[in-house]
Chains A and B, each alone.
Chain A
């Protein structure tokens, strides 16, 4: 194993992430390698220095002010959420009413249809697609513009559905910069760890 691999073991040892067997191997190597001994001493020293570095701290008054500002913001957010819920409900009242009307219509149709003894209770006797289409057709016969609009939208929806279902997409906007880095150093990691494991046997 090269010194580079032992230096990585030194780093892991400093983080408490080295197994006892690996540590034994490391210390055996260090006792005979000046370069690695110096590296171990330096990194141990550096770790102690870093941990003793003064933290960026603030006074108790500062923290009290921080907490008060946070409390205020939490309260504000809560109030904003309540009022936006109300606005959302108001805006969607139309859609909500429409959905309720559809459900009501479905119930009316269901009740008006002759009672069925079929134990399977097939869906066709309830929210009938064909009944819905019939209504749509009647509306479109009265209004050519409506027919055109619905026709255009249906074409778009069909194309969207085809695209959604069948095609792969590489979405560059979601490409994770950090995933790139992880993927690129995975080979490096693998080589380092693989060799370390072999040498530990």
Chain B
């Protein structure tokens, strides 16, 4: 497998085939990430194309201070967020925080391992809960949990601090738990 730096160098000189090798390496994870954000296959396909096109055009100014992986993900995230900003209403982040402070959360003292089976119903609820996460939380959560990035890598992609990444992922997990609370309570007998 050709060294990535060599491929980047060749692609910078306009070698389209070298760039396509890079595309093949990253197209699937980028598509997965964008699909997680948009929830739509067509949009994910279009935005993945746009990401690759933009990367090719911007390659000359890519200084390789971060990895190509991080840089490409940054382009994908920015394009997706811009797309979603234009196309759907954002949940107010502050409203969410106010609601969090006012809520009293009760979690039933139930042991997990014995009582839950991997079920279609849970998966559906989980998908819905993920879909409903506020966009920036969903983006951060996707990068860390689905893309397997460290907090530091995700922070680089998003242009924020590691602390912010850590906080957003934590809050996302709490939100998912809240959204699944009723399902969990119903299934506590099992």
Q: Which residues of A are interface residues toward B (Cβ below 8 A)? A: 7-8, 11-12, 14-17, 34-35, 38-39, 41-47, 49-53, 55-58, 63, 66-67, 69-71, 73-75, 77-78, 177-178, 180-182, 184-186, 188-190, 192-193
Nearest 3 Cβ contacts at the A-B interface: A11-B170, A41-B112, A189-B163
The stretch that binds A, out of B1-9, B51-59, B66-74, is B51-59
Q: Beyond A56-B32, A74-B56: 4 further Cβ-contacts under 8 Å?
A: A17-B162, A17-B166, A38-B111, A39-B177
B177 touches A43 (CB 8 A): yes
Select which of A42, A47, A67, A184 is within 8 A of B94 by beta carbon: A184
A180 and B93 CA atoms in complex are apart in Å by 10
List the B side residues contacting A185 at CB < 8 Å: 97, 164, 167-168
Chain B: interface residue total (CB-CB under 8 A): 60
User: Between A and B, how many residue pairs show CB distances below 8 Å?
Assistant: 135
A56 touches B53 (CB 8 A): no
Q: Which residues of B are interface residues toward A (Cβ below 8 A)? A: 14, 16, 19-20, 23-24, 27-28, 31-32, 35, 41, 44-45, 48-49, 52-53, 56-57, 85, 90, 93-94, 97, 107, 109-113, 116, 118, 122-123, 126-127, 130, 136, 144-146, 150-151, 160-164, 166-170, 173-174, 176-177, 180, 184
A67 and B20 CA atoms in complex are apart in Å by 8
Given contacts A8-B166, A17-B166, A74-B53, contact A67 B23 (CB under 8 A): yes
A38 touches B109 (CB 8 A): yes
List the A side residues contacting B146 at CB < 8 Å: 50-51
Least Cβ–Cβ distance between B60 and chain A, in angstroms: 12
Given contacts A12-B166, A56-B31, A67-B24, contact A178 B160 (CB under 8 A): yes
B150 touches A16 (CB 8 A): yes
Least Cβ–Cβ distance between A38 and chain B, in angstroms: 6
B49 touches A71 (CB 8 A): no
A43 touches B173 (CB 8 A): yes
A186 and B163 CA atoms in complex are apart in Å by 8
B170 touches A74 (CB 8 A): no
List the B side residues contacting A7 at CB < 8 Å: 170, 174
Select which of A15, A42, A49 is within 8 A of B126 by beta carbon: A49
A66 touches B45 (CB 8 A): yes
List the B side residues contacting A178 at CB < 8 Å: 136, 160
A38 and B19 CA atoms in complex are apart in Å by 48
B170 touches A66 (CB 8 A): no
Select which of A41, A50, A56, A182 is within 8 A of B161 by beta carbon: A182
B164 touches A182 (CB 8 A): yes
In the complex, what residue of chain B is closest to A15 when comparing beta carbons? B144
Select which of B41, B116, B145, B163 is within 8 A of A193 by beta carbon: B163
B94 touches A50 (CB 8 A): no
Given contacts A71-B20, A189-B163, contact A45 B116 (CB under 8 A): yes
